Amino acid sequence: MQRMMLTACAFALACVAAVPSMPASAKETVKIVYIGPLTGGNAALGLGGRNSADLAVQLHNADAKAKYTFDLVKLDDQCKPDIGVQVATKAGADSSIIAGITHYCSAVAIATVDTYHKFGLPVIVWGAVLPAITYGNDYPEIHRVNGTMINQNEVNAKLVTSLGYKTWVIIHDTTDYGKGHDEYFTKFLTQDGGKVLADFGVGADQQDFTAILTKVKELHPDVVYFGGLTPIGVRLRSQMDKLGIQSQFEGTSGIVSDSYIQALGPIAEGTIAFIDGAPIEKLPGGKFFLDQYAAHHYAEPPEAYGAYAFVAANLIMDAIEKVGPNRKAVTAELAKTKDHPSIVGPITFDAHGQNIVPIVTAYVVQDGKWVVWQDSDYAKGKRKLAGRK
């Protein structure tokens, strides 16, 4: 009798497995992939994104009404384009993976778009800001929930020129990411009347910047602008201090991370940087996200782009719930995304799969925290940025 029961069970299970779309009490498991930098200098952001995507999956799986159970595969791109293409190929070649939440680093995201297109794997970029990732191709597979560096540099140039600064030195890393920031910031700054005294490209793993910074010191710029990511941002700011450079320091979304402040300590005070979108705690779903994140006891904070990884995971899961675990169908479904409610506000993809994000938020480091510029003591005049009286 027992034997018969077992056989019956096995038969029932086999049926469920063989006919995936058949509604059954045991849910089908669907694999989706998260890719971001889990090791290396930008790992803090990658881990925050991973946890946030994981949170979305866990919340979804806890929902009894959902048709599918999701399994999040986590891969590490190390913020290196070559490794990124390798893991993208791995994800693309695995036909059980239906869609991806991919990349914080622009240099990696731009290197992998061809791979995703080749394998027909729909992905949503959750943190990389290089415009060309969505605008440089017509691949229907590529989407992005966060904004591009065009918007943030426009807002950046407006704000800093309005503070009365006149002269800049631009330092950027020589990846596509850094060069993109250099290009757009220079363009908007010149329009707004700022003057670029010098423009330096630096290697993405360079350690010593004292020679360049000595030249910067000689030029006495009002502001040093850095287009690049946290590790070099930390080294530059630290070595500026060593050389006694008094200029104001500002960066891009690439340095808005808790690890920037942690590594620099008090020297981080007064650094300005920008992020696309509004600060998470001010968003409609921000409190919900932060509460849930805290309730799940992740070891690392969500960091600046965690909310976007969360939203990207939800968009993908919602699409799969609607059209089933099929890459082509999911790609087609994502293209239709319009005013889709999310914790970062409604998501609408344009023809290139780019979410239209109208907001950019300025931040300044105050007392060891990234504080929204408008709420800071600096904007209120209680404290002064470098060179302001």
Partner 1 sequence: MDPGVAAQYAFNGLMLGVIYAMVAVGFTLFFGVLDVIQFAHGDVVMAGAFVALATSLALHALGIAVPALVVIVVACAAGLAMALVGALIARYLVLPLRAAPAFNTLLVTLMLGSILRELVRLFYPNGSNPQPFPRLLPTVSKNLGNFTLRLDSVILLVTGIATIVMVNLVVRRTRFGLAIRAVAQDSDTARSMGIDFERVVLVTFAIGSALAGIAGVVYGLYYNEVNFDIGLLLGVIGFSAAVVGGLGSIYGAILGGFLFAALQTIGSVALPVSSAYNNVFAFAVVIILMTWKPTGLIAERPSERA
208 lies in the site for partner 1, by CB under 8 A = yes
User: What would the two tokens of residue 308 be?
Assistant: 């976007």
Helices (H), ranges, the chain: 2-18, 43-61, 81-93, 106-119, 132-135, 149-162, 176-191, 210-219, 230-242, 258-264, 286-295, 306-323, 327-335
In the list 17, 243, 294, 351, the residue contacting partner 1 (rule: CB under 8 A) is: 243
Cβ 41 vs Cβ 230: under 8 Å: yes
Q: Buried (b) or exposed (e) across 181-197, using 16+ Cβ within 10 A?
A: bbbbbbebbeeeebebb
238 lies in the site for partner 1, by CB under 8 A = yes
Per-residue binder mask for partner 1 (CB under 8 A), 251-270, x = binder: --------x--xx-x-----
Alpha-carbon gap, residue 42 to 103, rounded angstroms: 11
Q: Shortest approach of partner 1 to residue 38 CB, angstroms?
A: 8
In the list 14, 17, 164, 242, the residue contacting partner 1 (rule: CB under 8 A) is: 242
Q: How far is CA 34 from CA 45, 76, 88, 198, 348, in A?
A: 13, 9, 10, 39, 21
In the list 22, 29, 63, 215, the residue contacting partner 1 (rule: CB under 8 A) is: 215
235 lies in the site for partner 1, by CB under 8 A = yes
Q: Shortest approach of partner 1 to residue 71 CB, angstroms?
A: 25
By C-beta, is 78 or 314 nearer to partner 1?
78
292 lies in the site for partner 1, by CB under 8 A = no
39 lies in the site for partner 1, by CB under 8 A = yes
Cβ 136 vs Cβ 110: under 8 Å: yes
By C-beta, is 159 or 234 nearer to partner 1?
234
Q: Shortest approach of partner 1 to residue 199 CB, angstroms?
A: 9
Alpha-carbon gap, residue 283 to 344, rounded angstroms: 6
Per-residue binder mask for partner 1 (CB under 8 A), 163-202, x = binder: -----------x-------------------------xxx
In the list 89, 167, 239, 292, the residue contacting partner 1 (rule: CB under 8 A) is: 239
Closest CA to 116 of 137, 147, 145: 137
218 lies in the site for partner 1, by CB under 8 A = yes
Which 57-96 positions form the footprint of partner 1 (CB under 8 A)? none
In the list 2, 25, 162, 207, the residue contacting partner 1 (rule: CB under 8 A) is: 207
Q: How far is CA 4 from CA 7, 8, 52, 55, 143, in A?
A: 5, 6, 45, 41, 50
Number of residues that bind partner 1 (CB under 8 A): 33
Candidate segments 25-33, 40-48, 276-284, 345-353, binder of partner 1 by CB under 8 A: 40-48
User: What would the two tokens of residue 82 be?
Assistant: 């070559």
Compute how many other C-beta atoms are within 10 angstroms of the C-beta atom of residue 346: 13
Name the 3-class secondary structure at 379.
Answer: coil
Q: Shortest approach of partner 1 to residue 302 CB, angstroms?
A: 17
Q: Shortest approach of partner 1 to residue 206 CB, angstroms?
A: 7
Alpha-carbon gap, residue 131 to 141, rounded angstroms: 16
316 lies in the site for partner 1, by CB under 8 A = no
Compute how many other C-beta atoms are within 10 angstroms of the C-beta atom of residue 39: 13
Candidate segments 7-15, 54-62, 207-215, 286-294, binder of partner 1 by CB under 8 A: 207-215
In the list 36, 41, 180, 302, the residue contacting partner 1 (rule: CB under 8 A) is: 41
In the list 64, 211, 297, 382, the residue contacting partner 1 (rule: CB under 8 A) is: 211
Assign residue 381 a region: left if phi > 0, alpha if psi is -120 to 50, beta otherwise? left
User: What would the two tokens of residue 304 be?
Assistant: 């600046």
Strands 369-372 and 360-366: antiparallel
Please classify residue 91 by burial: count the beta carbons closer than 10 Å to its beta carbon, then call 0-12 exposed, 13-18 middle and 19+ buried: buried
Applying CB under 8 A, the residues found at the interface with partner 1 are: 39-41, 43-44, 174, 200-203, 205-208, 210-212, 214-215, 217-218, 231, 234-235, 238-239, 242-244, 259, 262-263, 265
